[in-house]
Structure 1
Amino acid sequence: MSEYLEEVHEFVAQHAGGQRFAEDEDMFAAGRINSLFAVQLVMWVERTYGIAVQGDDLDIANFRTVADVARFVETRLGTDAAVAS
């Protein structure tokens, strides 16, 4: 899948007591992370990948699963790269 998947897995596991989620597991529904983590996750994505997460980006669909986060990063970096060139 995404080249960012493992990095997202590692970050999430650090904040979930070392437990890894399945790529498509809803991290919030599982009850092992909370809304504060959602803020930390968004900030980590911004800091790690240089992405400004704004407005419509803050849709839970972009951050619900590890795969969703990796796909969001991949999409945004692809879009940003296309705009920059």
Structure 2
Amino acid sequence: MSHNDPSAVVAAFLQQRFPHVEIAHDEDIFALGLVNSLFALELVMFVEKTFGFTVPSDEMRIDSFRSIDAISALVDRQSATV
């Protein structure tokens, strides 16, 4: 699995963390009740470590991490600025 497909990387991470839950790429993981404050921090750290950038403060909001698609879009936006 390549970092060229952030959606697949993020989906695999969530699947590993929640093996009994089927998560659509556009599904709100906060609304599903999967994210608490500790996991939100873990998710931010996973994205930063995996994709090699620090999430800027203006992106540090729920909407940037609400779904696999949202996280993938965040990675794409940050990749475009490098």
TM-score, reference length from structure 1:
0.83
CA deviation profile, 1:23-71 (whole Å, cap 9, x unmatched): 1111011113322111001001111111111311101111000100011
Shift of 1:13: 1.4
Amino acid corresponding to residue 14 of structure 2 in structure 1: V
Shift of 1:20: 3.3
Unaligned stretches of 5+ residues in structure 1: 81-85
Larger CA Rg, structure 1 vs 2: 1
Match in the other structure for 1:32: 34
Between the aligned partners of 1:57 and 1:74, the Cα distance in structure 2 is: 12
Amino acid corresponding to residue 53 of structure 1 in structure 2: V
Amino acid corresponding to residue 48 of structure 1 in structure 2: T
Percent identity between matched residues is: 37
- Structure 1 segments (4+ residues) deviating >4 Å: none
TM-score, reference length from structure 2:
0.85
Unaligned stretches of 5+ residues in structure 2: none
Q: Is 1:27–1:65's contact at 8 Å kept on the other side of the alignment? A: yes
When the two chains are superposed, the root-mean-square deviation of aligned CA atoms in Å is 1.5
